[in-house]
Amino acid sequence: MDPSPSGSREMPVRASLGRRLLFWILLISGFNALAATSIQLYIEYRRDLTDLDGMLVFIRDSQLPSIAQAAWNFDDALLQTQLGGIADSPWIRALTIHYGPRESARLAVGDVQPDHARQHVFTLDYPSGTGVVRVGRLIVWPNMAEIRERTKARILVVLATQAVKVMVISFTLLWLVSWMITRHLGRIAAYARAFVPGHGLAPFALEREPERADELHDLVTSLNDAYRRLDESHAAELDRSARLESLVAERTGELQRLAHHDSLTGLPNRRLFADRLERAMAAVQRRGGQIALAYLDLDGFKAINDQCGHDAGDAVLKAVAARLQAVMREGDTLARMGGDEFVALLTDLSEDPQIEPLIERLLAAASEPVPLATCGLQVTASIGVALHPRDAHDAEALIRRADQAMYEAKLAGRNRWRIAGRSGRSGR
């Protein structure tokens, strides 16, 4: 069996890996392009600022003396010409000169706006015979909008260039990886899905010439070796599985029995009894009638444990459980609640007089002597009975009423029974 090298089965593997690979290539390339773009734009921005600073230095060193002389002479035409020449520079937005007595004369060129944060103020000093005289001040507003516009234009050009570069590199790398790796991985995945232990599968071979000893070759070789070992161990595994299933079935049955039965007496435990009680109460709700719950506690059992030992106590519990079970009707349930307490579920009862013979049999069976080689003590029983639905409508309340009736029987002298709400005693 040789799976086809192409088909719908391998497409999800190749497409998924390709999408993830393209995403990471684009992410890394985009990050690198963004970093390179940011550095390039920052360098260009700093260059523009340097050119602007150079223009301001040029004004200070080359233009201020002639402007100061024109202001000294109140030559407005010359000042207008000089300021206009400076304003022709793309780095200058506007200029304002204040000169004359108390700098009352004013001349402005360009777009003057109240932007004190960006303005540069130069003092106009003119040398006279008595020294240097201040004739006014020149205020220059740099053209920061020009720098911003140049930066925006560069951003568009650089981003477009970098985006094209990233896309070309990314899709080229993706095609190379797809041709060299992912197309083979798709066939390997299809081959792996077609493998069934024990059915035989021809060794896998890559579709390329010549065969190269690279990571893909190692992967295919390891895959073929693994399938061969799986086939060899398949028969032994089937045999072990059959034996294990048999053992599990046996142990499961034993665990289920232990989960629902008392380990000492073999009687149903609390869990199984609760389930049967719920079922019996549900049957009463459907069909009518009544059920009885007899709660039985052994009298004098503690003395056997204390004087004769726990082994003797266990023997008494097993013997009493067997005798109680022997007098139970078919369909009724006897369970051990724990310690020396037992409970009997009597079903399909039509009237109260039908209950008393059953309770008498249970009392008599519990009171029969148990022969013990090392102990001569004997136990009796006290039994409390509660009826459903007369005494209680739910399981917990029914058990509680029966337990209360059992304690009333003990207080009345033991070795007797009592039905909840009225008293009775053993016929012996």
What CATH number corresponds to the domain at position 384? Answer: 3.30.70.270
Instruction: Please check whether residues 321 and 293 belong to one and the same domain.
Output: yes
Instruction: Please check whether residues 184 and 210 belong to one and the same domain.
Output: no
pLDDT on residue 14: 42
pLDDT on residue 273: 94
Instruction: Please check whether residues 300 and 417 belong to one and the same domain.
Output: yes
Instruction: Please check whether residues 181 and 251 belong to one and the same domain.
Output: no
pLDDT on residue 119: 84
Instruction: Please check whether residues 145 and 20 belong to one and the same domain.
Output: yes
Counting Cα atoms < 13 Å in the Cβ hemisphere of 229 gives: 6
Instruction: Please check whether residues 314 and 350 belong to one and the same domain.
Output: yes
Instruction: Please check whether residues 278 and 342 belong to one and the same domain.
Output: yes
Residue 389 tokens read as 């639905």
206 alpha carbon, distance to own chain's centre: 39
Question: For the chain, what is the HEC assignment?
Answer: CCCCCCCCCCHHHHHHHHHHHHHHHHHHHHHHHHHHHHHHHHHHHHHHHHHHHHHHHHHHHHHHHHHHHHHHCCCHHHHHHHHHHHHCCCCEEEEEEEECHHHCEEEEEECCCCCCCCCEEEEEEEEECCEEEEEEEEEEEECHHHHHHHHHHHHHHHHHHHHHHHHHHHHHHHHHHHHHHHHHHHHHHHHHHHCCCCCCCCCCCCCCCCCCCCHHHHHHHHHHHHHHHHHHHHHHHHHHHHHHHHHHHHHHHHHHHHHHECCCCCCECHHHHHHHHHHHHHHHHHHCCEEEEEEEEEECHHHHHHHHCHHHHHHHHHHHHHHHHHCCCCCCEEEEEECCEEEEEEEEECCHHHHHHHHHHHHHHHHCCCCECCECCCCEEEEEEEEECCCCCCHHHHHHHHHHHHHHHHHCCCCEEEECCEECCCCC
**Domain residues for 25?**
1-194
The verdict on residue 71 lying in a domain is: yes
Tally the domains of the chain. Answer: 3
pTM for the model stands at: 0.45
The verdict on residue 49 lying in a domain is: yes
Per-10-residue mean pLDDT for the chain, 428 residues long?
Answer: 42 55 78 84 88 90 89 88 89 89 86 71 85 88 86 85 82 78 76 74 71 74 79 77 82 76 92 94 91 94 88 91 94 93 91 84 90 76 94 93 95 92 51
Cα dihedral 230, 232, 235, 237 sign: negative
- Domain end (from 260, 285, 302): 260
- Domain end (from 221, 241, 260): 260
The pairing of strands 131-142 and 120-128 is antiparallel
Instruction: Please check whether residues 319 and 341 belong to one and the same domain.
Output: yes
pLDDT on residue 112: 77
Instruction: Please check whether residues 205 and 178 belong to one and the same domain.
Output: no
The verdict on residue 428 lying in a domain is: no
pLDDT on residue 171: 81
Backbone angles phi, psi at 313, to 5 degrees: -60, -40
End-to-end Cα, the chain, rounded Å: 85
Cα dihedral 410, 415, 420, 422 sign: negative
Residue 261 tokens read as 């039965």
Instruction: Please check whether residues 4 and 145 belong to one and the same domain.
Output: yes
The verdict on residue 280 lying in a domain is: yes
Are 153 and 168 a contacting pair, CB within 8 Å?
A: no
Rounded Cα–Cα distance for residues 401 and 397 (Å):
6
The verdict on residue 119 lying in a domain is: yes
The verdict on residue 310 lying in a domain is: yes
pLDDT on residue 6: 41
Rounded Cα–Cα distance for residues 78 and 74 (Å):
9
Instruction: Please check whether residues 135 and 241 belong to one and the same domain.
Output: no
Q: Which residue, among 27, 373, 71, has the nearest Cα to 174 in the 3D structure? A: 27
Instruction: Please check whether residues 251 and 324 belong to one and the same domain.
Output: no
pLDDT on residue 114: 66
The verdict on residue 265 lying in a domain is: no
**Residue with the two structure tokens 């071979």:** 205
Are 428 and 364 a contacting pair, CB within 8 Å?
A: yes
For residue range 233-288, list pLDDT tens digits in order.
877 777 788 888 888 878 877 777 778 899 899 999 999 999 999 999 999 999 88
pLDDT on residue 7: 40
pLDDT on residue 5: 42
pLDDT on residue 115: 60
Backbone angles phi, psi at 291, to 5 degrees: -130, 160
